[in-house]
Amino acid sequence: MAAFLAVPLKKTYDVDLVKPLRNFIQNTFSSAEPDDYNNALSEFNKLRNLMINKSVDKHESALEVLYRYYDQVVSIESKLPITENQVRVQFKWRDAFDEGGFLAGKRTLAIASGLYEKICMLFNIAALQTQIGAVQNQDSDDGLKTCAKLFQQSSGIFAHMKDIVLSHVQQDPTPDLNPDTLGALSALMLAQAQEAIYRKATSDRMKDAMVAKLAYQCSELYADAMKLMQLHSIKELWPKEWIPCVVMKQAAFHGLAEFYQSNVAKANKSYGEQIARLKHAQELLSAAQSRGGQTFCFRNEQGKVQREMDEAVKDNNFIYHDKVPDVKTLPIIGKAAVAKPLPVPQKFSTNFTDLFEKLVPLAVHDAMTAFENRKAQIVNMEIGRLRESTNLLNGVLTSLNLPASIEDLAGEKVPQSLTEKAQQMQEQGGASYISKLMNELPALLTRNREILDATVAEMDSEEKSDTQLREQFKEKWTRTQSAQLTKPIREEATKYSTILSTATQADAVVREKFDKHKEGIVLLSKPLTELEASLPAGSGGSSLQTSPPVKELRSLMQQVETIKAEREAIESSIKDASFDMVSSFMSALASEGLVNEESISVEELDRVYGPLREQVSDSIHRQENLQARIQNANTDFSNARSSNQSAAAREAKLKELQAAYNMYIELKGNLEEGTKFYNDLTPLLVKLQSRVMDFCFARKTEKDELMQDVQKQIANTKSQPAPPTPTYQGGPGQSAPPAGSAPPPAGAPPGTAPHQNPYPAPGYQQPPAQNYAGYGGAPPPQAAGQPQGWQAPYPQYQPPIAMPGSYNPYNPYMGYPQQPTYGQGYPQQQPPQYPGQQPPAGYGAQPPQGQYPGYPQPGYPQQGYPPPAQQWR
């Protein structure tokens, strides 16, 4: 019984998945509860350790463990990106073919990449499938079915890996992951799957014509595998018995195909053709025996062919006397290509459950961040419009000394409205509270600045070390440059630094406004008796109490209070609006494979905030009419009131106090929310610092390991001769092999070229060189059009920058134009660019001059899922 070849597994090493993944979750998914991921992290780490231990078991239960781990690695790709500049986990894998040849020098490769882990897991899944298939009972139907299924699955996996390996491994891969190696393994496993199907057909006693076609297809597939395995770039990689075994089977199955076709000729009474085919079969099996040596496993078949030939020759000589034709004139045997590489399934394991199902994909998380920024932009804009209009109304009333002027007609007591405002100020802390808030702001800014400076200094130190080592070791220092990895983080730090630098200027503006109105604010903070004594005496005007202008002004003041109350309710509705956007984004991701955040967000925001925007506009429009009526009524009131110098002085003082109260309310609200804003900014900076510290620690560990490897490489270079450079031969116009290239293998027929198949089967014609395009006659797929060792651009995930939420009225005091200007004010992110297009209408439009700046519309990467693959049946 023919033995099957099994691919050895790659060896990996233990890693800590818990700490880096937990740090990323805490820094990115701020709303995630620890219970949502702590157990999952522990189980994920245990699953990888179980995968390492179970890989040595040649049983389908061990294969299921590998399936589960691989599916989990795939599932977290969209949630927890394991890359050099995100979740930094260094996966180290050893070459599966750890013996023989000059390629053994580069045995291990360590990369901080989830894609690299996925590729290595695919290799081990396919390798374990070949090992389980090779030990199946070939005397049973179930064993042969399982064997054929596993070999077809492994062939499909190796073929899939060949297509994607260079996009997943961003460094020169180990020899077992070379696309040439993977292509050869795929072809070999497909040939073995066809062989298992042939064995099943012979045990089922199928018709000789069909068995002959199955056997001939086996020979063709082994010929394909033989050509690929003998490519100069990889032929020294294989275990020593592999190539003799493959070339032996190529000839043997050709011989068996001739044998079964001879039975067909006998049934058709073509006795001469029967003898010719039996002789050819005997020649092929003899050639297989001589080339396979100890791997030859067709002795029973060889003996059967010999007996059949002796009997056929005897019968033809004594009975039939049929002419024996030349074997070259015989009809070609057909092929039955039953074995096919099976596609890689979307999920390997049955009933798979994602350990991190409570975490949303990063595409959804980024969409939520972008949505919150859009929402904050609307909140800032609409609340800003309301408050600006209210401030304008208060300014008009202050300039007219209303309502104090109609409450103080006698000029003897403090107006009731001013008394209420003074009491309100005192209850809220008065001037001392404002001073306290202003004194705290510099400390908050200093704290944030120190965190940010320490973070940047840590990155600078790491980058300086990397640059020095790169200059020292030149091309041997192969890891990704620090500047490339830290670019997104530095951009984020720059935005934060700009905010903090500008905030120091805002402090001066706030203090200037407070100093201007300090006397009035301090006076309103004193007891009522002191306030009353500070007011100049006025002249009597009691006769105007019932005059039409006074009645009109009192009615208008009531309308003013009504508008202010309405605006408080509108502002509360704007702030408290709630949305369920996670469900909408998840549905879009599941149905379309990506999240069109802009379209979904604008539609939902318009649905909720559209009516509220109309209420804001209506309130502002009513205020304009109200202000005109107030000014007209106040003109009539001023004309009807007789005034003198004392009355004018008292009115000026009342206006001053009214303005002081308005400024107190404005500064208090601004400073309180500004303080909250900077307190919210601190944990964001701490998270940034934590990410940088983890990054630098991981880079230091990687640096130490790489330095050891480089030092060993330098030492080996001094003590060992350099290996020959792999070349690709056989393409059209290919030059002769360079001097020093590998000679033909020992025992090859005379005249065999250095890279030619040394074992052409009898009757098998070596194809011309151009038929090897894509194998030996052209660069391998990964290098086509690119220099040797070319690497694809490293994918870098750049999430939207998180910002403190809520309306921020402190922003106007940072000295910006009162309209949205991206990149200024509090932490904001650049909006997406629309080349050749206008910005999207609706909430992304610029508000008119004088309105508060809102948040921009961030961009983010869209991620999708591959289409589902067909399951093997």
**Distance separating alpha carbons of residues 46 and 90, to the nearest angstrom:** 17
**Distance separating alpha carbons of residues 97 and 174, to the nearest angstrom:** 10
**Per-residue pLDDT at 551:** 81
What pLDDT digit, counting tens, does each position of 521-562 carry? 888 888 877 777 777 765 555 556 667 877 888 888 899 989
Q: Under a CB-based contact definition with an 8 Å cutoff, are residues 50 and 331 in contact?
A: no
Read off the DSSP letter of residue 12. Answer: E
Q: Which residues of 729-756 are buried (b: 16+ CB within 10 A; e: fewer)?
A: bbbeebeeeeeeeeeeeeeeeeebbbbb
Q: Please tell me the pTM assigned to this model.
A: 0.63
| Nearest CA-CA partner of 289 in 241, 251, 327, 239 | 251
The greatest distance separating any two alpha carbons of the chain, rounded to the nearest whole angstrom, comes to 154
pLDDT grade for 496, boundaries at 50, 70 and 90: confident
What pLDDT digit, counting tens, does each position of 281-308 carry? 999 999 999 988 888 889 999 999 999 9
Q: Under a CB-based contact definition with an 8 Å cutoff, are residues 664 and 523 in contact?
A: no
**Per-residue pLDDT at 221:** 97
Least confident window among 17-31, 642-656, 722-736:
722-736
Q: Under a CB-based contact definition with an 8 Å cutoff, are residues 564 and 390 in contact?
A: yes
**CA 540, chain centre distance (Å):** 77
CA angle 18, 23, 25 (to 5 degrees): 95
pLDDT of residue 163 exceeding 60: yes
- 768 burial (CB, 10 Å; 0-12 / 13-18 / 19+) is exposed
**Per-residue pLDDT at 34:** 78
Share of residues in the chain with pLDDT > 70 (%): 78
Q: Which residues of 329-357 are buried (b: 16+ CB within 10 A; e: fewer)?
A: ebeebebbebbebbbbbebbbeeeeebbe
Neighbours of 770 (CB within 10 A): 13
Least confident window among 47-56, 152-161, 432-441, 728-737:
728-737
**Per-residue pLDDT at 814:** 44
pLDDT of residue 695 exceeding 60: yes
Q: Which three-class secondary structure state does DSSP give residue 110? A: strand
Q: Under a CB-based contact definition with an 8 Å cutoff, are residues 863 and 363 in contact?
A: yes
| Nearest CA-CA partner of 131 in 79, 186, 55 | 55
Beta pairing, strands 91-94 & 108-111: antiparallel
**Distance separating alpha carbons of residues 570 and 222, to the nearest angstrom:** 78
Specify the higher pLDDT residue, 624 or 401: 624
Q: In Å, what is the CA distance from 152 to each residue of 124, 155, 219, 344?
A: 15, 5, 17, 11
pLDDT of residue 811 exceeding 60: no
**Per-residue pLDDT at 293:** 83
**Tokens coding 376:** 């904050």
**Per-residue pLDDT at 714:** 77
Neighbours of 851 (CB within 10 A): 17
**Tokens coding 372:** 């919150």
- Mean pLDDT over 501-527 rounds to 80
Specify the higher pLDDT residue, 238 or 437: 238
Q: Which three-class secondary structure state does DSSP give residue 419? A: helix
**Distance separating alpha carbons of residues 605 and 634, to the nearest angstrom:** 42
**Per-residue pLDDT at 281:** 94
pLDDT of residue 802 exceeding 80: no
Residues with Cβ within 8 Å of 829's Cβ and at least 6 positions away in sequence, in order, are 373, 495, 800, 801, 803, 856, 858, 859
Q: Which residues of 812-849 are buried (b: 16+ CB within 10 A; e: fewer)?
A: bbbeeebebeeebbbbbbebbeeeeeeeeebbbeebee
**Tokens coding 661:** 């109260």
Q: Which three-class secondary structure state does DSSP give residue 754? A: coil
